[in-house]
Amino acid sequence: MMVLERWKGMLYLMGAFTLAGTSVITAWLLNGKLGTFTITAVSLLLALLCMVPLCMKDLRRTVGRLSWGGWGYLFFQALLGMFLFRMLLLHGLLHTSTAEAGILTGTTPAFTVMLAFVLLKESVSGSRLTGMLCTVGGILVLQGMLTPGISFKEQHVYGNLLVLCAALSESGFNLLSRIGSVKQTASPSQAMHPVVQTTLVSAIAFLLCLIPAGFEDPVTSLAAIGLREWLALIWYGPIVTAVAFIMWYAGIERCHVSTAAAFSGMMPFTALLLSVIVLKESAGWEQWGGGILVVLGMFLIGRQQAKSPPSAKPLQSEHGSLAGARE
């Protein structure tokens, strides 16, 4: 039973990061037509319109019994995983090249494993370490680090530091999610279903995005877009945001943080596949070689995860109406 739960957790994580990788199509469709925070705010609103009716009863129950500490964990997850990550990456791209930013975002798995090792005392076996090295190396290769002509420039130092902070912010979100899962396991009365947790985090992130989105003239820009852009926003909200985060929370409570870090390699790999298939962009040996390394890394860590139980047992949902969604 425990082995089945661990495999389910890994499948949830793969699904979450695969869906997150499809955001490359959304960015391509909305590029230059809407501001970054406008895209985030509208997509979160659309996601909330889908999720709130689904979990209204359990949402009320959770809000009524959630402690201040629980609210703090949710706030920082929204701050790090949705709001701060986008803001740092956005401003970093103003001061550095997209190639350098792409290379630096590949450091997220390394940051995540490092934080998990230091703060959560998660063990790093030979197989897991090899898998992580394959994943990080694959992401760097996939992003074109070995492509001739790509090098870090001194005038890009400030922008590169911002992108590194964005990667560290995403790693912090991964860590907080796992800590919150462990605390919920230790205190069943504080347990939250993934749909409820995603709804609350999305609502907090939506509120954080409202003020910066107001400076992007959202009403005018939204009135100017067409059906294709609205469909992209719908995909980015209920699917990429809601479904991906629900799968993320369902997966992280069953797996180690380092396992989640390895599966995060599915984001750039999925983006690569969609860029080739949908956007008809060309891909060289670096991209395909990096993709193979990412898949190899996930296999090595997945095999190790199946052999050793995570530090917290899988949560047993106390929410009857939603329990079936996790099976």
CA dist 112 and 300 (Å) reads 17
Q: Please report the pLDDT score of residue 313 as a whole number.
A: 42
Is residue 327's pLDDT more than 80? no
CA dist 96 and 29 (Å) reads 23
Instruction: Give 284-299 pLDDT, tens digit per residue.
Output: 676 677 767 767 776 6
Q: Please report the pLDDT score of residue 154 as a whole number.
A: 61
Instruction: Give 57-95 pLDDT, tens digit per residue.
Output: 889 988 888 888 888 889 999 999 888 887 787 677 677
For the chain, what is the radius of gyration of the CA atoms? 19
Residue 58 inside a domain? The answer is: yes
Instruction: Give 16-34 pLDDT, tens digit per residue.
Output: 888 877 776 776 677 678 8
- The reported pTM is 0.71
Range of the domain at 251: 2-314
Q: Strand, coil or helix: what is 143?
A: coil
Instruction: Give 181-239 pLDDT, tens digit per residue.
Output: 767 666 666 678 888 888 999 999 999 999 999 999 999 999 999 998 999 899 988 99
Residue 33 inside a domain? The answer is: yes
Q: Are 240 and 23 in contact (CB under 8 A)?
A: yes
Q: Please report the pLDDT score of residue 42 as a whole number.
A: 92
Number of domains in the chain: 1
Q: Are 158 and 284 in contact (CB under 8 A)?
A: no
Residue at 301: amino acid letter: I
Residue 323 inside a domain? The answer is: no
Residue 325 inside a domain? The answer is: no
Q: Are 290 and 143 in contact (CB under 8 A)?
A: yes
Residue 75 inside a domain? The answer is: yes
Residue 21 inside a domain? The answer is: yes
Residue 243 inside a domain? The answer is: yes
Residue 268 inside a domain? The answer is: yes
What are the structure tokens assigned to 320, written together? 């009857």
Q: Please report the pLDDT score of residue 314 as a whole number.
A: 39
Instruction: Give 90-139 pLDDT, tens digit per residue.
Output: 677 677 755 556 556 666 766 777 777 777 776 666 766 777 777 777 76
Q: Are 21 and 270 in contact (CB under 8 A)?
A: yes
Dihedral sign (CA 158, 161, 162, 163): positive
Q: What angle do CA 308, 311, 314 make, to 5 degrees?
A: 90
List C-alpha distances in Å: 182 to 28, 67, 122, 297. 38, 16, 13, 25
